[in-house]
Amino acid sequence: AELWQDVPLAPPDSIFKLTAAYKADTYDKKVNLGVGAYRDDDNKPWILPVVKKATQILLNDETLDHEYLPITGLPEFTAAAAKLILGADSPAIKEGRTVSVQTISGTGANHLGALFLSRFYKFNGAPKIYLSNPTWANHHAIFKNVGIEPVEYPYYDPKTIGLDYTGFIGALQEAPARSVFLLHACAHNPTGVDPTQEQWKAIANVIAEKKHYAFFDCAYQGFASGDLDKDAWAVRYFVEQGIPLLVCQSFAKNAGLYGERVGALHVAPPNKETAERVKSQLSVLQRSEISNPPSHGARLVSLILNDPQLFGEWKRDIETMAGRIIDMRNVLYKLLTEELKTPGNWDHIINQIGMFSFTGINPEQSKALTEKAHIYLTANGRISMAGLNSHNVRYFAESLDKVVR
Ligand code: PMP
């Protein structure tokens, strides 16, 4: 018998499949609203000007070589990355009780965080992680891979195309004490629906009361509002409240460094002594998994974060990206509501935040958009706002109008 005859054929990843179908389509007005990567107004990937500059600096730096980084990564990168998400004056940083490890982008941070919990977290019963319904599909796979069972908490309400706040709070209250909740720090993927600050405060209250653990995933800092600090608000608030937490950080979107795989895992234990023990175990885990992380992307981000002038330029680049996306939301909203008078309420298009928008259309309507108009999006009606631009937004609005009528 053949060695691998019992290996079942796995389905292709739905997002990568969508991109392949889009690429194969020869229709000139085709639109790709599937993938979560920024595109400029000409639908082209955008190398941030500050990244170009930093790349030049690295190229001219004769002192750099290709030696291994330390197991936990480039120290000047991880230290600056921690300040970026936790805030320069974070009590956790001041007290020296943060642990930061460089990871293979946000996915690697999620994995290392999950692996660490699977080994060391004192679960109340069988290991479980509470994930928002819906969430980034990979969350389910990442936790299952390390033997933590994903369970869902209510998050999105299809009736309001907004947050199911009551359901969310209810789930936090009903979960056994010391449960682990995964929270999207900002720009929730796939819905684009975030809690307000008042809602975050109430969420933090229940989490503190029930002694839950907050597993923050932050893949879009700066990309949501255009402001790095604003997008870090929830994480910083939780730290101030003394809630035990970790944060997974990605520089894929906000620095446009998708393929460079730059990220970090930050854990905030209660004191310095615990932080040392946590760091030692994260090093052991990292060593067996990737030995040490890649250097190039971390050097780029480190330059940008540690040089005030480059940091300022980066902020402007982030504003450019976030601003274009917010513009597209406004244009699409206007077209649907004022010009086309598309049936239904479309306020969510401008109320949602970040790369993605849940349009509220059903799988049949989504399919019709692809089949009739060559517009590619996931069946759940999620669109990547970055796929819209001044050239195709009208075509998209008209096509959407047709399928919902
Ligand atoms: N978390 C969420 C919620 C995401 O949307 C993404 C990117 N799609 C990631 C993590 C990780 O992405 P990356 O590994 O490219 O940083």
The model's pLDDT over 347-405, given as tens digits with 9 standing for 90+, comes to 999 999 999 999 999 999 999 999 999 999 999 999 999 999 999 999 999 999 999 99
**How many A from CA of 337 to the centre of ligand 1?**
32
**Whether residue 179 has its Cβ less than 6 Å from ligand 1:** no
How many Å apart are CA 283 and CA 292, to the nearest integer? 9
Distance from residue 184's CA to the centre of ligand 1 (Å): 10
Residue range 313-338: average pLDDT?
Answer: 97
Per-residue pLDDT at 296 exceeds 90: yes
For the stretch 192-214, pLDDT in tens is: 999 999 999 999 999 999 999 99
Instruction: Evaluate if residue 15 carries a pLDDT over 90.
Output: no
Q: What is the pLDDT of residues 355-367, one digit of tens each?
A: 999 999 999 999 9
pLDDT digits (tens, 9 = 90+) for 238-255: 999 999 999 999 999 999
190 lines ligand 1 (CB under 6 A): no
- Which atom number of ligand 1 is nearest to the Cα of residue 217? 1
DSSP annotation string for 174-223: HSPTT-EEEEESSS-TTT-----HHHHHHHHHHHHHTT-EEEEEES-TTT
CB crowding 257-284: b at 16 or more within 10 Å, else e: bbebbbbbbbbbbeeeeebeebbeebee
192 lines ligand 1 (CB under 6 A): no
Cα 42 to Cα 19, 56, 303, 391: the distances in Å are 17, 25, 29, 8
* CA nearest to 49, candidates 304, 357, 355: 304
CA nearest ligand 1 atom 7, residue: 219
Q: What is the ipTM of this complex?
A: 0.99
The residues assigned a catalytic role are: 136, 217, 253
Distances (CA, A) of 155 to 42, 188, 263: 34, 10, 26
Judge if the beta carbon of residue 257 lies within 6 A of ligand 1.
Answer: no
Question: Is the bond preceding residue 134 a cis peptide, omega within 30 degrees?
Answer: yes
Six-digit token pair at 300?
């780029």
**Mean pLDDT, the chain, integer:** 96
CA 229 to each of CA 85, 244, 254, 308, 356: distance values in angstroms, whole numbers, following the listed order? 8, 21, 13, 16, 20
Say yes or no: CB of residue 36 within 6 Å of ligand 1: yes
The rounded Å distance from CA 253 to ligand 1 centre is 8
Rounded Cα distance between 376 and 18, Å, is 7
Q: How confident is residue 126, by pLDDT bands cut at 50, 70 and 90? A: very high
Q: 107 in ligand 1 pocket by Cβ < 6 Å?
A: yes
Give the distance (Å) from ligand 1 centre to CA of residue 188. 11
Which residue minimizes the CA distance to atom 11 of ligand 1? 106
Residue 14 confidence (pLDDT): 83
Q: Give the chain's count of helices (H) and strands (E).
A: 16, 13
Report whether 36 contacts 224 (CB < 8 A). Answer: no
Element (DSSP H or E) covering residue 315: helix 308-334
Tell me how far apart the alpha carbons of residues 217 and 247 are, in angstroms, rounded to a whole number. 6
What's the rounded Cα separation, in Å, for the pair 72 and 84? Answer: 18
